[in-house]
Amino acid sequence: MRNPLALLVCRCPAVVQSVREALGSIEYLQLEVCPDAQQVGREVKRKDVVLVLAHVGSLGGDAEATNLLWSVAATRRPCPTLLLADDYREQHATTLLRAGAADFLELPVDLDKLAQLAVALTLRVHFPPRGAAPPVQEVEHCPAEEALQELVTADMGDVIAQVRRVAPQDTTLLLSGETGTGKTALARLIHELSPRRAEPFLVVDCAALSAGVIESELFGHVKGAFTGAERDRQGKLVAAGDGTILLDEVNSLPLNLQSKLLRAVGERAVEPVGAVRSVPVRARVLAASNVSLEDEVAAGRFRADLYYRLNVVGFHLPPLRERRAAIAPLAHRFLEEYAGRNRLKVRGFRADAIEAMEAYSWPGNIRELRNVVERAVALCEWGEIGLDDLPEGLRNLAPLPRHAATACTPLHRSREEAEIQQIKEALHKHRNNRMRAAAELGISRMGLYKKLHKYGFI
């Protein structure tokens, strides 16, 4: 009988060699290298894969890493994914961890640490301690529909009905709403509710790419089209095949590329950079924007014809501050998710914690709420999340007992605000390098980490 597999998604020989050295001492684990990220989902389904390791640099970026995490999650196998990156960027690491990564390590990584983490991840999932709940088994239902109801909750019943109606069709959809309101999650669920669910789901963050890069990223290029184009490259609109592609922050596209996108959506064809022939587009196109495209059209920054072509059916996700009734249900859902994932006995929230969360404005919307609940679950010591388990910014919003009404004085708040500002400036100056920022602030790296937790940054 063959040993279970650790699947390494990587095209870098040096990284492959390092991982082989790290995992070579684990007798029960066999390492297999998969250079094509598109094949990972199929490999996990076909083989006894117990751990996926992915080199973010080989994937091509954070959006591709997110797609990989989703493809592994779609297999519904208890298979953790460990990401290896050439450089540590706090914001991107946090995004990938929220997308489902088990851990995020910077290269070059300590080989002993990597081996220990690989053992811990595989043992935790596949060899749980006695009395632990068994892994989730396949059941006869559609998890996407349940997740959809949990995402939008009961206060958006009309949206649920409309999404169910249009998801199975090939209609082009426009999703709008502030950052963090759940547009990407909704797009993913629309894909899962459609006949295309077995095909790829790709996300292109239009705001994260420069004008010179995004044309090749979306439409592809041919060899010799420009300096550095050493081979033909397939654009994401074609690479999505018969699946679904989400163009996130589509409002960021330059006007000259908006005309090419209009043709891709309207005529179902693209012309790669430097090519003389068009290539058919078979994927369903979804678009998302965090600003009003109507206002962008009025300002001359977005083509009116492209707006009307994308907005065949539109869904607007309101900010969380306008959906106070949804805060408690979403918080309980996230609590169950993180407590279950980490096998922690956290039963629920105390009334003071719920009051504080419902009083907060949530500028980061659902994404911020998820982060706060994950942090609270990790820090909770007494089985029920209370006010003390929430970040400082939320604790000050809850009604205080009369005898404690003067505990938080204006001077106390001003000192905290000054400290927060100093931390932000140090992190910005050193490009989120915590070690350098901590040195400038005159504290240890662990001390900085605790303050970041205290003020709700992580």
Tell me which fold the domain 5-126 belongs to. Answer: Rossmann fold (3.40.50)
Report the distance separating Cα 418 and Cα 51, nearest Å.
44
Does the structural domain 143-316 have CATH classification 3.40.50.300? yes
Structure tokens at 182: 């759940």
Q: What is the pTM of this model?
A: 0.55
pLDDT in tens, the chain (458 residues): 467 888 898 888 888 888 888 888 777 788 889 888 878 877 887 888 888 888 888 777 666 777 787 777 766 677 888 888 877 666 666 667 666 777 778 888 778 778 877 777 776 555 444 444 433 333 333 455 445 544 555 456 567 778 878 888 888 999 999 888 888 888 988 888 888 888 889 998 888 877 778 888 888 877 776 766 677 777 889 888 899 999 999 999 999 889 889 988 888 888 888 777 888 899 999 999 999 999 999 999 999 999 999 999 999 988 888 888 888 888 988 898 888 888 888 888 998 899 899 888 898 898 899 999 999 998 888 788 988 889 888 877 644 443 333 344 444 455 677 778 788 878 777 777 777 777 777 776 667 777 777 776 66
Report the distance separating Cα 300 and Cα 457, nearest Å.
36
Give the residues across from 171 on adjacent strands.
none
Q: Identify the residue whose tokens are 């597999």.
A: 5
Domain positions in the chain are 5-126, 143-316, 321-399, 407-458
Which of the four CATH numbers 1.20.120.330, 3.40.50.261, 3.30.390.50, 1.10.8.60 does domain 321-399 have? 1.10.8.60
Structure tokens at 33: 């290298």
For domain 407-458, the CATH class is mainly alpha
Cβ(195)–Cβ(242) below 8 Å:
no
143-316: same fold as 5-126? yes
| Alpha-carbon separation of residue 422 from 123, 425, 450 (angstroms) | 42, 5, 15
Report the distance separating Cα 307 and Cα 95, nearest Å.
29
What residue type is assigned to position 394 of the chain? Answer: L
- pLDDT for res 297: 93
- pLDDT for res 131: 42
Report the distance separating Cα 10 and Cα 35, nearest Å.
5
